[in-house]
Amino acid sequence: MVVIVGESLCGLPCLGGHRGPPLHIQYFDRVGELLCGLPEGAIVEQVRQRKTIRLHNEIYQKVGQPFSVTICTYNKITLSDEFKKVIFESAIEGDLNKKSDLMVVCVMPDHVHLLLAPIGENLIDLIGKWKSYTTHLIKLQEKISKLWQRSFYDHGLRKDEDLIKVAEYIVSNPVRKCLVEGWETYPFAWHKWM
């Protein structure tokens, strides 16, 4: 049975007393036939569908296509310096560097910036595996349920964007956040043109 929550389309009474458009639940069987309207005592929750923000999958496999990626911690938890070091080293020394052209890593207190390009493996899969691996490493040291937010933000760089300028902008994040005076002194920032 499929439940659809939204504005009333069938003329049955809608629920009020909330912000936004009136909500109405309709129950459909597997073939899409309307079975009934709102049952007595029903609990209504608005079902929100996640917006798809991904490009076509082939783009994430295009060899040499650089991507700026931001990965946020779950519920914006702040990483200790010890955990920042583990995450930083896993990026520099692990599969993320071996299976992509890793150009920049900057581990901030509640997120990570990367600049990298695929060299064979799909970038979405590679980052997913890295997130799982780093979560495992942190769970070995501290009891946590989740380390990373679901998914990540990415920006495919255009051919006219200067990689070194983008790299310098990313590693300057700790300076803009007043964590250090110069990015060179921040222990969790690196780019390959240093």
What mean pLDDT do residues 16-22 have? 44
Structure tokens at 138: 């942190």
What mean pLDDT do residues 53-66 have? 83
What mean pLDDT do residues 153-172 have? 94
Q: Report whether pLDDT(36) > 70.
A: no
Highest mean pLDDT among 41-45, 126-130, 157-161: 126-130
- Domains of the chain, CATH where assigned: 2-36 (no CATH), 57-191 (3.30.70.1290)
Q: How confident is the model at residue 22 (pLDDT cuts 50, 70, 90)?
A: very low
In this structure, of 35-44, 69-78, 108-117, 120-129, the range with the lowest mean pLDDT score is 35-44
Q: Report whether pLDDT(46) > 80.
A: no
The Cα 194–Cα 190 span in angstroms is 7
Q: Report whether pLDDT(126) > 80.
A: yes
H, E, C per residue of the chain: CEEEEECCCCCCCCECCCCCCCEEEEEECCCCCEEECCCCCCCCCCCCCCCCCCCCHHHHHCCCCCEEEEEEEHHHCCCCHHHHHHHHHHHHHCHHHHCEEEEEEEECCCEEEEEEEECCCCHHHHHHHHHHHHHHHHHCCCCCCCCECCCCEEEECCCCCCHHHHHHHHHCHHHHCCCCCCHHHCCCEEECCC
pLDDT in tens, 178-193: 999 999 999 999 999 9
